[in-house]
């Protein structure tokens, strides 16, 4: 005889269902426990103040006596005084005559003689090169023939350069050097004019022009016994000694 178990007596038949339900309940309780928030409650005590009597304080009214504003200043009245002056002087009217020649005007046929015309001689400034002039400009202290005056002029010019030469400090600091050509004119009165220079730097050019401006007044050059202007040029070598 085989023994059979009553299906109602099987305790573990719904164990999976109970396990799932229990697990869900635990998850819900855990979520509620984590998300639950609590707040601190402060005890608020409300006191009511009751006033039996109300005090009304009377503020006295003060009156400030201000002086009245000064009256506006009255502007002086300007009255124009018109005086009538009798016209006792006769004013001559100036009549401007026309300088245009009309058809009825008579033209003077007077012949002007040559002796009546004044001739004014205008002295023309002529420049003659130093190399071809008949008599070169005379440097103070030079004498002799034209060849001797030319040689003395060149010697005096070299002596003048050595005496007045001064190397510009700014050019020396910047190591600027080179040759500067100076041009000037000895006019018909013996003065040094129209000084110009051409060189590698403005500092050297300014120094060369300064040296030439210190030249003394000379006896002007002559061409056909007439004072003329003589252009002249000379190179000045600016060189730094090592």
The 10s digit of each residue's pLDDT in 148-180 is 998 999 999 999 998 998 888 888 888 888 999
Q: Region 53-62: what's the mean pLDDT?
A: 61
- For the chain, the average pLDDT equals 78
What pLDDT score was predicted for residue 133?
A: 87
The number of distinct structural domains making up the chain is 1
149 vs 66: which has the higher pLDDT: 149
pLDDT at 172: 87
CA 121 to chain centre: 50
Q: How distant is the alpha carbon of residue 3 from its chain centre?
A: 126
Q: What is the mean pLDDT of residues 79-105?
A: 63
pLDDT band with cut points at 50, 70 and 90 for residue 2: low
CA–chain centroid gap for 18, Å, is 100
Which of the four pLDDT bands, split at 50, 70 and 90, describes residue 128? confident
Residue 170: inside a domain: yes
At residue 63, the pLDDT reads 64
- Is 104 inside any structural domain? no
Q: Count the alpha carbons within 13 Å of 10 in the hemisphere toward its beta carbon.
A: 8
Q: Where residue 191 falls among pLDDT bands split at 50, 70, 90?
A: very high
Arithmetic mean of pLDDT, 33-60: 63
Pairing relationship of beta strands 221-222 and 227-228 according to DSSP bridges: antiparallel
The pair of three-digit structure tokens given for residue 100, joined into one six-digit string: 């245009």
Cα–Cα dist 228/207, whole Å: 28
201 falls within a domain: yes
What is the percent of the chain with per-residue pLDDT over 90, rounded to a whole number? 21
pLDDT attached to residue 146 = 87
Is the separation of the CB atoms in 136 and 146 below 8 Å? yes
CATH code where residue 188 lies: 3.30.2420
Domain hosting residue 220, numbered range = 146-238
124 domain-assigned = no
Rounded to 5°, angle at Cα 240 from 239 and 241? 115
Is residue 30 included in any domain, yes or no? no
- CA 4 to CA 7: how far, in whole Å? 9
Output 69 or 57, whichever has higher pLDDT. 69
Whether residue 22 is predicted with pLDDT greater than 70 in this model: the reply is yes
Q: Cα Rg for the chain, rounded, in angstroms?
A: 62
150 located within any domain: yes
Q: Is residue 138 part of a domain?
A: no
Within-domain flag for 97 = no
Q: What does each C-alpha distance from 35 to 30, 31, 226 come to in angstroms? A: 9, 6, 127
Provide the CA 218 distance to its chain's centre, in angstroms. Answer: 44
Q: DSSP class of residue 182?
A: E
Q: How high is the pLDDT of residue 61?
A: 67
Mean pLDDT (whole number) for 1-28: 75
Nearest to residue 238, comparing CAs of 188, 178, 184, 197?
Answer: 178
Residue 239 confidence (pLDDT): 85
């Amino acid at each position: 005889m085989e023994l059979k178990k009553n299906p109602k007596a099987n305790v573990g038949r719904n164990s999976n269902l109970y396990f799932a339900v229990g697990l869900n309940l635990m998850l819900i309780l855990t979520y509620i426990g984590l998300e639950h928030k609590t707040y601190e409650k402060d005890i608020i005590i409300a006191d009511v103040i009751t006033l039996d009597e109300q005090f009304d304080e009377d503020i006295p009214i003060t009156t400030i006596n201000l002086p009245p504003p000064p009256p506006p200043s009255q502007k002086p009245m300007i009255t124009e005084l018109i005086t009538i002056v009798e016209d006792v002087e006769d004013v001559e009217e100036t009549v401007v005559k026309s300088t245009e020649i009309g058809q009825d005007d008579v033209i003077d046929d007077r012949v002007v003689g040559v002796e009546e015309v004044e001739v004014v001689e205008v002295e023309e400034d002529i420049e003659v090169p130093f190399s071809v002039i008949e008599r070169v400009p005379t440097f103070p202290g030079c004498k002799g023939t034209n060849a001797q005056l030319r040689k003395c002029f060149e010697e005096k010019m070299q002596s003048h350069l050595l005496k007045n030469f001064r190397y510009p400090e700014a050019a020396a600091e910047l190591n600027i050097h080179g040759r500067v050509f100076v041009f000037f004119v000895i006019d018909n009165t013996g003065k040094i004019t129209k000084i110009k220079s051409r060189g590698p730097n403005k500092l050297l050019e300014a120094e060369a022009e300064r040296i030439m401006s210190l030249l003394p007044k000379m006896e002007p050059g002559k061409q056909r016994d007439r004072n003329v202007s003589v252009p002249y040029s000379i190179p000045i070598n600016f060189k730094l000694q090592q």
